[in-house]
Structure 1
Amino acid sequence: MRPEALALLAAACWAVSSLFSAPPAQRLGAFAFSRWRMVFASLILWGLALASGGWRSLDMATVALLGLSGVVGIFIGDTALFSCMNRLGPRRSGVLYATHALFSGVLAWALLGEVLWGWALLGSGLLVGGVMVAVAWGKRGDETHVWEQTRGPLAIGVALGLLSALCQSLGTLMIKPLMGTGIDPVAASATRMSLALAAHTLLFASGWSGARAKAPLRRHDGFLIFMSAAVAMALGMTLILIALRDGQAGLVAVMSSVTPVLILPLLWLIYRRRPGAGAWLGAVLAVVGTAFILV
């Protein structure tokens, strides 16, 4: 399967997982939610890596680089994303997170010498523009769902969303060269996850009150977090690493940024109300852009 198609599948995984993530993230807090999600994801990924023998592709130098990528992209990036989601909801946090495609394109050009031309460049512009239009103007004017409310200062929520996007880009680009060496993608995901979890654990052990859960973990919370970990982190992130192995980092990032557009019809199922006209326009632009990229 083409790397761009794999990135699109990863975006679908992240869209589905956001519906599992929002309720427990708001109830437990971003740090506690992220920590539990990493626990489940690490168990799933290491089980697969041990069963397949993929762990044998790891060495100390590889582990160090994967660990740094995990701390930046998962520990900082994911925690910032869910802090943003708790403040702004999944729709608006989605448009901020989608800027990781722009960050990735610039950083891939500056650090890896990757340049997009022709249909890929046109398609990337349409896709990213479509995502922004769909999410920014996708809400109906009379929408009052709790996920559309702003909690705390808007500027802090925006800053957290942009930080999560930048960290996602940096964390991904760090390991782009590594994925071409034959390392097992599942073992790589497991290593990134485990070392990000170690950073979370150290923060929790420090006694900082912000790292503690706002409420006790309930059985239903645990189920939702497990589903989020399995779909987004075990499957989605592994698909991205496979896509990076064979594709351009900037193009993979652009394709994976379609997540917010895919979230809109899912939110429709929850709201029981049709998205606004901007959502449809943005979705059309994103589909056309995707078609140009895949031609």
Structure 2
Amino acid sequence: MGYEWLALAAAALWAVSSLISVTPSRHLGAFAYSRWRMACVTLMLTAMAAFNGGWSTVSWDFALVMVLSGLIGIFIGDTALFACFNRVGPRRGGLLFSCHAVFSALLGIWLFDESLFGWKLVGALLVFTGVVTAILFGQKSQKHQIEAITGSLGVAVMLGLTAALCQSLGAIIAKPAMQTTLDPVAASAMRMAAAFSAHSVLRLSGAQIAKPRQPINGRILGMVALNGFLAMAVGMTLILFALQHGDVGMVALLSATTPIMILPLLWLYTRHRPPAAAWLGAILAVIGTGLILQF
């Protein structure tokens, strides 16, 4: 399987997990939700790396890089993303987060001399245009609570763009290490453990922002664990595998199709059919992806 398909598979998992995240994130709050989620995923990835022998590929230099990547990309980035989702829902939050494709492409060109030329450039532009079109014009109504806007829209925009930038920086930081023999599962475990440790220190400090809005229960914990397994234990590990073989910018652009994939899922969940413009965006993204895969 080429890295392109790995990135697309991760995008599909993120679409499903973003819907699962809404209820527990609004129940616990962004910080408490992220902390519980990271605890679950750290345990999953640590066990997976032990099972496949991935810890034997880790050196001290790799560990330091992955800790930094986890603090920026997961501790800051993921927490900001779920705070954004809590305010504007997964569809609008997805639009803002998809800007990580632009950040990653520009940073990849600047730092690694990566390139986007010819039909691949056309395809990349179509993918991003399709993402923006689908999110801007898809499901514009707020008839379902999952689509409701709460709080300041300006704050939500800032949180979404912060999440996108941190995701890009986290991937850029991890890129050199992922081009070595470092096991992606072990790398994901280190990133997640670093983010969970930071969240734990914040909670132990007694900071009000880290306290849960409501107590966790068995149902909420199950949703947190399922979301973490799909999005991080599987999805983010696929992205790290993809980074071993592909350009940061191209991996980011393909993984940015998550907002396209979420449209039919929202239709099933809310029973409100997206308008024609949303499907136009999806078609543009499919054509763009085809060009990327062909050339």
TM-score where L is the length of structure 2: 0.98
TM-superposed deviation, 1:205: 1.1
CA distance in 2, matches of 1:211, 1:120: 43
CA distance in 1, matches of 2:123, 2:89: 28
Q: Are residue 276 (structure 1) and residue 275 (structure 2) matched?
A: yes
CA distance in 1, matches of 2:279, 2:51: 44
Aligned to 1:38: 38
CA distance in 2, matches of 1:280, 1:52: 41
TM-superposed deviation, 1:70: 0.2
Q: Are residue 236 (structure 1) and residue 235 (structure 2) matched?
A: yes
CA distance in 1, matches of 2:140, 2:175: 39
Q: Are residue 13 (structure 1) and residue 13 (structure 2) matched?
A: yes
**What letter matches 1:260 in structure 2?**
P
TM-superposed deviation, 1:44: 0.6
Runs of 4+ in 1 over 2 A off after TM superposition: none
> What secondary structure, in the 3-state scheme, does the structure 2 residue paired with 1:207 have?
coil
**What letter matches 2:50 in structure 1?**
L
Alpha-carbon deviations, 1:161-212, whole Å to 9, x = none? 0000000000001111111111001000001000111011111111110101
CA distance in 1, matches of 2:98, 2:77: 13
Could you list the runs of 5+ residues in structure 2 that have no partner in the other structure?
none
TM-superposed deviation, 1:140: 4.3
Aligned to 1:213: 212
Alpha-carbon deviations, 1:232-286, whole Å to 9, x = none? 0000000000000011110000000000111111111111121112211100100
> What secondary structure, in the 3-state scheme, does the structure 1 residue paired with 2:244 have?
helix
Larger displacement relative to structure 2 (163-172 or 148-157): 148-157
Aligned to 1:97: 97
Matches for 1:1-295 after TM superposition, within 5 Å: 1-141=1-141, 143-295=142-294
CA distance in 2, matches of 1:86, 1:108: 30
CA distance in 2, matches of 1:48, 1:196: 18
CA distance in 2, matches of 1:76, 1:277: 36
CA distance in 2, matches of 1:205, 1:198: 10
CA contact (8 A) 2:8 2:255 kept: yes
**What letter matches 1:132 in structure 2?**
V
Could you list the runs of 5+ residues in structure 1 that have no partner in the other structure?
none
CA contact (8 A) 2:139 2:272 kept: no
> What secondary structure, in the 3-state scheme, does the structure 2 residue paired with 1:246 have?
coil
Q: CA RMSD in A?
A: 0.8
CA contact (8 A) 2:57 2:181 kept: yes
